[in-house]
Amino acid sequence: MSEIPYWVRRGEAYEESFLKTPGIIAQEDALYRAVIVRPWRNALDAGCGFGRVSRLLANWRPGVSVDGFDPSARMCEAARDLGLGTVWETDIASFDPGGERWDLVVAAEVLMHVPPDEVVEAARSLLRLSRGWLVTADWSIDREVERDPHNWLHDYFDVFERCGVHVVDRVDAPPFQCVWVTTARIG
């Protein structure tokens, strides 16, 4: 029997264990400040989990289409129950929407779970999905945080620079996260 990947196992209990902690409230506030000022008519929630960020995006801009993907079947089922858009069961590396692109791609607490030797390619994959903006919310390298072995602290200025884009905005989400905003124009 093959080992079940961490994120599939984690998805089994994630929604039930999720709490509105001060850190999550700060993250949601920072995401709001990052996305509300940007022009977008549709969005992709990368690593959507049970649809927490998808629901926020739909509430912040009523009438927009919000799609998502996640590697956990259970999380995809919960996200689909929101009725907001299409939800795919897949990971960043495998996701192929057949050339579809979104005005806004949001990845909340996604890249921090990608190992350092894979994070630039994962960021490039997310950038290819956007025709406008990529917004990520992750732990920042300049924050002191106790972390599990499946969490990494990346230098996002460097990651996005290596992707050929620049960070155009950084919104702090104390105590340990930052929201990074990049344009999707690679080059």
Q: Rounded to 5 degrees, what are φ and ψ at 39?
A: -80, 125
Tell whether the torsion through CA atoms of 76, 81, 83 and 84 is positive or negative.
negative
Helix axes 22-35, 52-60, angle to 10 degrees: 40
CATH architecture of 6-183: 3-Layer(aba) Sandwich (3.40)
Domain borders along the chain are: 6-183
Q: pTM of the full predicted structure?
A: 0.86
Peptide bond into 175 cis (omega under 30): yes
> What is the C-alpha to C-alpha distance for residues 94 and 107, in angstroms, rounded to an integer?
16
Q: What is the pLDDT along the chain (187 residues), one digit of tens a residue?
A: 345 566 556 555 555 555 667 777 888 888 999 999 999 999 999 999 999 999 999 999 999 999 999 999 988 999 999 988 999 999 999 999 999 999 999 999 899 889 999 999 999 999 999 999 999 988 766 656 666 777 888 888 899 999 999 888 888 877 667 777 887 654 4
Strands (E), 109-163: 130-139
Tokens (6 digits) for 80: 């689909």
Q: Residue 64: what residue type?
A: V
| DSSP type of residue 164 | T
Residue written as token pair 């989400």: 173
